[in-house]
Amino acid sequence: MSRLLKSAAALSAIALVAACGGSGSDAAPSSAAEAPAPASKPAPATTPAPEPAADTAAAPAATPAAAPAAAPGAPSPEFANLPAPYNTADYARGRRTFKLCSSCHLDKEGAGNLVGPNLYGLFNRKVGTEPGFAYSDALKNADFTWTPDHVDEWLTNPREYLRGNRMSFAGVRKPEDRLALIAYLMTETGYEPPAE
Ligand code: HEC
């Protein structure tokens, strides 16, 4: 071991001598001093980096667009009369996803309110107007009529969609779960296409 170390030390000593001894190589350092220009070029050299980053940013952006196209499996007959894309949703998935809501919401006509308002007749109903339910100001002061699109946005992120509302629910993250749930709600709560 120690012999190896010694010989290594000896070798590096030789290397040092060799490095210093080459006085004729003075020209090399001076040309290296002019080199700083190429050395400062790393800045442009780093510009390629953002491009791969942009590529990876574009990839996730493309994924959601592809997701709805991937969602349709065999269409559920229960949803056959719904407008697209809800007619492509999976009934079993919708019914299953509604279990996330049913601790707080009933969806049968006249069944009354729980922690949350009854959802029968939700579509085409003005936000915050189910009789007998004490809404937060956030919902009372909101001014729109529930459409499938509004429900989709609401369920994507309830807290952000109407700030200050009292629905303590994190949301439904997967687009295909929301699609199926909204289709399920449409069939269960008496959805009718808006008269136009
Ligand atoms: C923990 C209880 C709870 C859960 C779970 C819950 N909600 Fe709610 N929801 C509420 C409450 C409370 C309100 C009223 C909020 C307010 O007044 O600020 C509400 C309001 C709503 C409204 C607005 C109704 C109206 O009359 O304007 C919709 C739509 C809704 N919820 C749908 C859902 C759906 C669909 C789910 C399941 C994915 C769900 N909620 C899960 C408690 C809940």
Provide the number of structural domains found in the chain.
Answer: 1
| 86 and 179 Cβ atoms separated by less than 8 Å | yes
Report how far residue 27's alpha carbon sits from residue 40's, in angstroms, rounded to the nearest whole number.
21
- Region class of 132: left (phi > 0), else alpha (psi between -120 and 50), else beta: left
Tell me the residue range of the domain where 114 lies. Answer: 81-188
Any ligand 1 atom below 6 A from CB of 94? no
CATH code at position 91: 1.10.760.10
For ligand 1, mutation pick of 93, 101, 146 (most atoms within 8 Å of CB): 101
**127 CA closest ligand 1 atom index:** 27
| pLDDT of 123 over the 50 cut | yes
Cis amide linkage into residue 85, ω under 30° from 0? yes
Domain presence at residue 112 = yes
**138 CA closest ligand 1 atom index:** 18
First to last CA, the chain: 91
Give the pLDDT band of residue 6 (cuts 50, 70, 90). low
For 89, phi then psi, to 5°, come to -75, 165
Q: Which amino acid is located at 49 in the chain?
A: A
Residue 13 has a pLDDT of: 45
Any ligand 1 atom below 6 A from CB of 115? yes
Indicate which residue's Cα is closest to atom 41 of ligand 1: 101
Domain presence at residue 55 = no
Q: What percent of the chain has pLDDT over 70?
A: 61
Tokens representing 139 are 């919902």
| pLDDT of 191 over the 70 cut | yes
Average pLDDT, stretch 165-188? 98
| 167 and 116 Cβ atoms separated by less than 8 Å | yes
pLDDT digits (tens, 9 = 90+) for 56-111: 444 444 444 444 444 455 789 999 999 999 999 999 999 999 999 999 999 999 99
Is the full-model pTM beyond 0.85? no
Any ligand 1 atom below 6 A from CB of 91? no
Any ligand 1 atom below 6 A from CB of 162? no
Average pLDDT, stretch 13-20? 43
Domain presence at residue 146 = yes
**97 CA closest ligand 1 atom index:** 38
Any ligand 1 atom below 6 A from CB of 148? no
**Best mean pLDDT range from 43-47, 70-74, 166-170:** 166-170
| pLDDT of 152 over the 50 cut | yes
Domain presence at residue 174 = yes
Domain presence at residue 45 = no
Cα 8 to ligand 1 centroid, rounded to whole Å: 75
Domain presence at residue 43 = no
